[in-house]
Structure 1
């Protein structure tokens, strides 16, 4: 009987994989690589090594979970392709977990008195823009994922009434704009992790919240613009 869920997190420069038990959502093992643009060449290797190191095989997988976005367009496509390939080959379900929600849960879990804060993950979307959302400590969506242009008035209403914790690789761009705002807190070094994705995926698995493997696409949040190179 399948025992575990494999979670993939490829939305950021960190390539991360994790295994969780279906029965109790406990972590079996994790592995990550912090090499820029390494996802396409190292993701399958990380998966194989993690299964081997934990004494499992592909036959033990009950489902594959993938970080759904927003985030790096290329990274999300690589994660989705790998997840869909495994689900097709093994005839198992695909679970998609919001990158921002997983990041918020990751921080709320280790925050003292988490109920006193709102949680705002921010992922860098270039220039003065970030992908952001706001969640309660229980994962309830206070502000849906959205692209935000940052200035000193961004999220002013939320900060007027709540203590908000900001984190993720886009939060550093926001901190200088707020000055001495007393309701804003910032955490450094918080990166998306397959561990958080997998923990939320186990709950989604029990609720049978599965994606259509054939038609699933990541949640990019914005359209991707490409250009054609000029002829020499």
Structure 2
């Protein structure tokens, strides 16, 4: 027994610690994998949202192009009326030209306006029109003769004259009460004096209708005015 050798096992401590370190390494690996998964999902979600918004914006742009083309086709049925797609403007040319210093329109000019306005209302009130068209601004212009303020007042009167023409009680091609309600809801009067003048004074004394379009997610505001009670034109 004296010669018996006692062998001490020194690996016990290492073996006891190994399960802990292995578990810790696995835990860190799992956390890293989870982090990568979460980041991947987040990036996919962001990319998807951006892509969907870009698709919606592109469709909105195409819808505006389509309705502008429809206005262009409608204008072709009336001699002298054109649509400028770049400026998004309906130009009536000689069909709504004013005499020097005047805001009156001839009877045949008023008749043409009342013929074309229902075309605008029809396009504005169909599904596409309600989706993209916000309003139509009637803009009057003058030549460069005279002072700024006097011309500003004259341009406003010319814009107002166009609206008065739509609400006229006598003459050819009168609008129905429902069409007048739609005009009141959709149209807005604006005046621009001699800004954006044309090459000649005669061409500058004009009126245009500028189409304004809704933004993404925007809806056309409904009229808050009382039905009927259109009143009479204050211009003489």
TM-score by length of 1: 0.29
User: Which protein is richer in strand relative to its size?
Assistant: 1
Greater Rg by CA: 2
User: Which protein is richer in helix relative to its size?
Assistant: 2
